[in-house]
Structure 1
Amino acid sequence: MTKASGSRFEVQPDLINPAASDQAKRLMEYLCSIYGKRMLTGQQIGVVSTPEFDMIHEVTGKYPAVGGFDFMNYSPSRVERGAERQDTDLAMKWWDRGGIVTFCWHWNAPKDLIDLPPDRTWGRGFYTNATTFDIARAMSEPSSEEYGLIIRDIDAIAAELKRLQDAGIPVLWRPLHEASGGWFWWGAKGPEPCIALWKLMYERMTHHHELNNLIWVWNGQHKDWYPGDSYVDIIGEDIYPPARDYGSQSERFRTAASYTDAAKIIALTENGVIPDLDLMQEDGCPWAWNCTWYGNFVFTGEGNNRRYSEEYTDELQLIRTYHHPFTVTLDELPDLKG
């Protein structure tokens, strides 16, 4: 019997945006209704190569409920360098199949890319060590070029989110992820400019662009970086334990719960290894969904020689996860469109 009971898991489906779309409200109501009772299976796909969904189906006979996508290549500093862009279209197809859509954004710095091979190239421009872009200057000087470029980039991604809104697609929106780690430029100068950027993005997207299809998933991973309950719908944690460590990650779950006194849904927004479902229930940490990262966390080999990789989550554990009564797979999702 699960220990996941009580007020911690009784979350009201009230979104921070009072003008939230019917689709966003419907998705949030569903998430709240199953929270503490079941976990949505999820999988991130690669930005260019995308075999992860089919690889999981090949092994388990099922598809994940949540599809993870990335606006990385829609960053203007990547667009101007010819980056391939397909995730918006892929997310639309996933929704059409009945799946839930979540997006992150590996935001390439708007300018000041070091572009020095091998590990500081423009293609790694979201990393602190690959750019000299100064978020503190940008957020403290609204008249600066840096601030103007921040607005330009937010507007570019808002245009993609507007396409999804026009198609009736709600989005579990997870920008500025893992900020407290400092390895991404938006977290390089400490909590204050990052919190200011989060609030700016929320205000710009919600009030200027009237994006009402977003459920805001905050993934800063430290209490000092929390922007406040009125700016967060869901709390996410990204966890990469050692290979085949199937622990429930209960300590991180409880840490996430400590960021606020409010009852918020807590999700495993990135993972390498998939935690054991029985341990999750025993330890009282039923993550709302998981989203396994892409590439070698799922497969090995190239082209027709690709096969499931057991390096992180062995095949039997994956099959068990996708057939466990606690998890929800694509075929088990309700109709969230109407």
Structure 2
Amino acid sequence: MAYDWGHRFRVEPKLIDPQADDCAKRLMAYLCDTYGKRMLTGQQIGVNSTPEMEVILRETGTYPAVGGFDFMNDSPSRTERGAVGTDTALALKWWEAGGIVTFCWHWNAPKDLVDLPPDNGWHRGFYTSATTFDLAKAMADPSSEDYALLLRDIDVISGLLSQLRDAGVPVLWRPLHEASGSWFWWGAKGAEPCIQLWKLMHDRMTRLHGLHNLIWVWNGQAKDWYPGDEFVDIIGEDIYSPEQNYQSNVERFRQALSYTEAAKIIALSENGPLADPDRMIADGALWSWNCTWYGQFLHKQEDGQIVVSDQYTEREMLNNVYRHPFTVTRDELPDLRTYPLPE
């Protein structure tokens, strides 16, 4: 059954940041122009090993339009234990090669890591089970050490985002993701402190750090966690369907539509198996972009070689998606440095 959501696909290319950089305005204009007409292909890279883009190129002959990156190893409670973040430089190269950049942040809790390996080691400090850090307590006392550490961490990531800003890179910025699931510490204490943290981060990054290259992608995944239209540019849903299930995820698309009456772009900000473009078109679940998660969701080791895995998305469907007239690959993107600004 097709749904008549045509009016919700007509999104004005107006960003929530009145001082948005031209690079962000151009990207938003392009996303609005294509929304409901075509879906941008996307792929998250791994944290320690990053073969995903080359695996896709070798299999399909092209790169995804959107590259997914993560500030995970830039979290101060990780760097002080020896982690080294690499994704800022990789994202810059991706943009220079003609791709679109999206960033999430598996934010290791600023302190109070359980550090009991293997399941709750310090490297898993973004999980609720691996930290006793209390966000509600921190947000309730702006004079506390915990609150100050939140600001410290936001400032560190802002410094990395400023490198991208200075290079003219617009970023689809997706912090505090999957909050309502409560498996991450920023969602463990309920909606109110998480919304407070979203607004704090938005204010500090925009006003103090002048990060006007960001397009804010909210990925809280429940209506009562929505911070408000004035704090959200784009809505993202993370969906991990069963293996080799290529459903359009139309029910989750409808759910995302229900978060607000405003016309907001909706993206499949994380996925396991790819969604079949023909099913998306038939159901009207016309995601702006997708971003397949890394590692086993795309590839495997076989005879010492990294090859496409059929476990989640079979080769045939991977090629179907990347060669489908509904989808956009990197070579099909316009030059986003010169894309017309919205009037």
TM over 0.5: yes
* Aligned partners of 1:4 and 1:285 also within 8 Å: no
**Partner in structure 2 of residue 266 of structure 1:** 266
**Partner in structure 2 of residue 21 of structure 1:** 21
**Partner in structure 1 of residue 167 of structure 2:** 167
Question: 1: distance between equivalents of 2:93 and 2:247?
Answer: 34
How far did 1:47 drift? 1.3
Question: 1: distance between equivalents of 2:93 and 2:303?
Answer: 22
Counterparts of 1:83-232 in structure 2, within 5 Å, are 83-232=83-232
Question: 1: distance between equivalents of 2:4 and 2:76?
Answer: 43
**Partner in structure 1 of residue 341 of structure 2:** none
Aligned-partner residue type, residue 262 of structure 2? A
The answer for unaligned runs of 5 or more in structure 1 is: none
Q: SS in structure 1 opposite 2:148?
A: helix
> Do structure 1's residue 36 and structure 2's residue 36 form an aligned pair?
yes
Q: SS in structure 2 opposite 1:273?
A: coil
Relative distance call for 1:321 and 1:264 in structure 2 (3 A) is: same
Aligned-partner residue type, residue 249 of structure 1? N
Question: 2: distance between equivalents of 1:206 and 1:60?
Answer: 39
How far did 1:3 drift? 6.0
Q: SS in structure 1 opposite 2:267?
A: strand
How far did 1:48 drift? 1.6
The answer for unaligned runs of 5 or more in structure 2 is: 339-343
Question: 2: distance between equivalents of 1:293 and 1:34?
Answer: 23
* Aligned partners of 1:126 and 1:184 also within 8 Å: yes
Question: 1: distance between equivalents of 2:5 and 2:58?
Answer: 35
**Partner in structure 2 of residue 70 of structure 1:** 70
Q: SS in structure 2 opposite 1:301?
A: strand
Q: Which ranges of 4 or more aligned residues in structure 1 deviate by more than 4 Å? A: 2-5
**Partner in structure 2 of residue 236 of structure 1:** 236
Aligned-partner residue type, residue 248 of structure 2? S
Question: 1: distance between equivalents of 2:107 and 2:4?
Answer: 35
How far did 1:135 drift? 0.2
**Partner in structure 1 of residue 60 of structure 2:** 60
Q: SS in structure 2 opposite 1:89?
A: helix
Question: 2: distance between equivalents of 1:174 and 1:190?
Answer: 19
How far did 1:117 drift? 1.1
Deviations 1:290-310 (A, max 9, x none): 000000001111794211101
Aligned-partner residue type, residue 239 of structure 1? I
Counterparts of 1:253-292 in structure 2, within 5 Å, are 253-292=253-292
Deviations 1:271-312 (A, max 9, x none): 000000011011011000000000000111179421110100
Relative distance call for 1:20 and 1:256 in structure 2 (3 A) is: same
Deviations 1:195-253 (A, max 9, x none): 00000000000001010000000000000100000000000000001001111000000
Aligned-partner residue type, residue 256 of structure 1? A
* Aligned partners of 1:195 and 1:226 also within 8 Å: yes
Question: 2: distance between equivalents of 1:307 and 1:267?
Answer: 27
Deviations 1:56-91 (A, max 9, x none): 111111100000000000000001011021100000
Question: 1: distance between equivalents of 2:301 and 2:317?
Answer: 21
Relative distance call for 1:337 and 1:134 in structure 2 (3 A) is: same
How far did 1:337 drift? 1.3
Question: 2: distance between equivalents of 1:65 and 1:6?
Answer: 24
Relative distance call for 1:128 and 1:303 in structure 2 (3 A) is: farther
Relative distance call for 1:302 and 1:166 in structure 2 (3 A) is: farther
Aligned-partner residue type, residue 241 of structure 2? P
Question: 2: distance between equivalents of 1:336 and 1:311?
Answer: 35
Q: SS in structure 1 opposite 2:8?
A: helix
Q: CA RMSD in A?
A: 1.3
Relative distance call for 1:302 and 1:316 in structure 2 (3 A) is: closer
Percent identity of equivalent pairs: 67
Relative distance call for 1:146 and 1:293 in structure 2 (3 A) is: same
Between 301-310 and 157-166, the greater mean CA deviation after superposition: 301-310
Question: 2: distance between equivalents of 1:163 and 1:116?
Answer: 35
Q: SS in structure 2 opposite 1:331?
A: helix
Question: 2: distance between equivalents of 1:146 and 1:36?
Answer: 43
Aligned-partner residue type, residue 31 of structure 2? L
**Partner in structure 2 of residue 306 of structure 1:** 306
Question: 2: distance between equivalents of 1:4 and 1:74?
Answer: 43
Give TM-score, length-normalised by structure 2. 0.97
Deviations 1:314-335 (A, max 9, x none): 0000001000000000000000
